[in-house]
Structures are given as C-alpha cells and as structure tokens.
Amino acid sequence: MKKQFAFIVLSMLMASPSIAADRSGEAVYKAVCATCHAAGLMNAPKLGDKAAWKPRIAQGMPKLYEHALKGIRMMPAKGTCTNCSDKEIKNAVDYLVSKAK
Ligand code: HEC
C-alpha cells in the first residue's frame, strides 16, 4: 500500500510542470535576459559584444553563474526571473558566453 502511494505521488510529480525539463539557454535569454542584454540597458554587457564580455568571462564561469543567480550591481538576481530554475539561469549564462567567444 505504501509503495503504491509513493508511486502515485511520483508519477504526479513527473507530470507537474514545475519540474518539467529546463529551458534552453537561448529560450531563457530571449524570454528574460534580452530585455537588458540585447540593447545594453543600464550598461548590461550586450549579447555578442566580445570586448564587454572578455573581462567578465575572465572572472571564471563559477563567478558569472553566481552573479547571474544572486545579482551584481545593476544586474538583478536571476535577471528578475524568479520562476527560472538555477539550471536555466546557468544555461542562459552559457548562451551569453558562447556568443561572446
Ligand atoms: C534588468 C536588466 C537585466 C536583466 C533582465 C538581466 N541582466 Fe544581466 N546584467 C545587467 C546589467 C546592468 C549588468 C552589468 C552589471 C555590472 O557589472 O554592473 C549585467 C551583467 C550580467 C552578467 C555579468 C556579471 C559579471 O560578473 O560581470 C551576467 C553573467 C548576466 N548579466 C547574466 C544575465 C542573465 C543570464 C540574464 C537572464 C536570466 C540577465 N543577465 C538578465 C542587467 C540585466
């Protein structure tokens, strides 16, 4: 009986959108980050702007992830996307960085 219950709960969890597959970096970028990072709003480093990204990338990926997740100066935590998973934010950072190389 207990086992069956656990199975039902598990299948409900699997069907729930809250743990659906993480969105790709490009999808998250377009939905959230582009607001600032496409036009360079408030001096946000622009997508594909190698010069702007170079010193930021030089900090290392762990720092970039941390700043994207927790925010830094005018960069809001998670780019204000409170319902984005940490993995989705990291995907978006990877996307931004991949375009600046
Ligand atoms: C409200 C505008 C805004 C949004 C939305 C936004 N950013 Fe930013 N972001 C900024 C600004 C401004 C900076 C520059 C901060 C600074 O260095 O002063 C920045 C900097 C960054 C940096 C560099 C941090 C560093 O250590 O130099 C990363 C990485 C980043 N953003 C990722 C993202 C990602 C990923 C998203 C989407 C999930 C996002 N941003 C959404 C404004 C924004």
Confidence check: pLDDT of 97 > 90:
yes
User: Which strand (E) or helix (H) includes residue 26?
Assistant: helix 25-28
For residue 40, the model assigns a pLDDT of 96
Q: What pLDDT score was predicted for residue 37?
A: 98
Structure tokens of 15?
């069907």
- What is the position in ligand 1's atom list of the atom closest to the CA of 63? 26
Mean pLDDT, all residues of the chain: 89
> Which atom of ligand 1 is closest in space to residue 97's alpha carbon?
29
- Reported as a single tens digit per residue, the pLDDT across 2-42 is 666 666 555 555 554 455 689 999 999 999 999 999 999 99
Three-state secondary structure readout of 46-76:
CCCCHHHHHHHHCCCHHHHHHHHHHCECCEC
Span 82-90, average pLDDT: 96
Instruction: Quote the percentage of the chain above a pLDDT of 90.
Output: 78
Domains with residue ranges and CATH for the chain: 22-99 (1.10.760.10)
Does the beta carbon of 67 sit less than 6 angstroms from any atom of ligand 1? yes
pLDDT at residue 94 in the model: 98
